[in-house]
Amino acid sequence: VPGTEAGPARGPEGQGVSDAEAQKRAAGEAAAALVENGMVVGLGTGSTAVWFVKSLAARRLDITCVATSQRTADLGAELGLKIAELGQTAEIDLTVDGADEVGPGLSLIKGGGGALLREKLVWEASRRCVVIADADKRVQTLGKFPLPIEVVAFGHKTTMLRICDALGECDIGVAPRLRQKDGQPMRTDGGNLIYDAACGRIEEPAALAFALKSVTGVVDHGLFLDLADQALIGTPDGVTILE
């Protein structure tokens, strides 16, 4: 889908922006401008979402927010945003979140920051979802970024073998790696573990999503298909809108 320009992205000193961080900031700020008084807003997780949260908080609107991770909830509360639990507000009007890859049809890989389960829960509960990213996140085919797969800790090595079978059904022959943090298996906010599968190319994301969800022990995966309504992509020339 060809993009349209939403005005030039500008850095703090009014300069055009070219580096990834400035592009993330431009996308985050453009998304914050979509929020209106009275809305219930889903707050994403990651370095791009941080720009959105900061820019949103600076607008001092009368809104309620639902966070996709504890760290985003902490940041939002620190910046003065009203944070509520999922299910304790009216329907979420708009969720804004980052992504690790933005592919055809706004198919996404998410979960690089380990928050994919809460992210997907919040996205699926939202009327509208906007993904924000820098230009390097756009891909023709998903899969270069390792696909995060969240599993329950009990029996996770057995679950991983069954994940290998599911990947094999989709002609992806890789062994997923257990994500580590500080020399230990990383735990998600929900206390689960994450395996990252370096798929290379995911030719049929829907088939892979189905196969992975069919494995007992898999809580969810980072394929976000048919969930994003719009993407705001920071580029050296401005923020491109994809729909």
- State the Cα–Cα distance between residues 221 and 120, nearest whole angstrom: 9
Distances (CA, A) of 40 to 62, 70, 88, 243: 10, 18, 11, 22
User: Which residues contact residue 2 at a Cβ distance below 8 angstroms, ignoring those fewer than 6 apart?
Assistant: none
- Which residues are marked as active site? 119
Of residues 21 and 203, the one with the C-beta less far from ligand 5RP: 21
- State the Cα–Cα distance between residues 124 and 203, nearest whole angstrom: 24
Q: Which of 114, 143, 176, 217 binds ligand 5RP (CB under 6 A)?
A: 114
Span near ligand 5RP by CB under 6 A; candidates 71-79, 83-91, 97-105, 178-186:
97-105
Q: Which of 100, 150, 196, 220 binds ligand 5RP (CB under 6 A)?
A: 100
- Residue 173 tokens, joined: 């022959």
In angstroms, what is the minimal distance from the CB of 36 to ligand 5RP?
A: 23
Contact of 96 with 41, CB cutoff 8 Å: yes
How many residues at the interface with ligand 5RP, by CB under 6 A? 18
Q: Which of 22, 23, 43, 48 binds ligand 5RP (CB under 6 A)?
A: 48
In angstroms, what is the minimal distance from the CB of 14 to ligand 5RP?
A: 24
Tell me which residue has tokens 């431009």: 26
Of residues 27 and 163, the one with the C-beta less far from ligand 5RP: 27
- Residue 227 tokens, joined: 């969930």
In angstroms, what is the minimal distance from the CB of 178 to ligand 5RP?
A: 17
Contact of 241 with 231, CB cutoff 8 Å: yes
In angstroms, what is the minimal distance from the CB of 168 to ligand 5RP?
A: 26
Residues that bind ligand 5RP (CB under 6 A): 44-49, 97-100, 110-116, 119
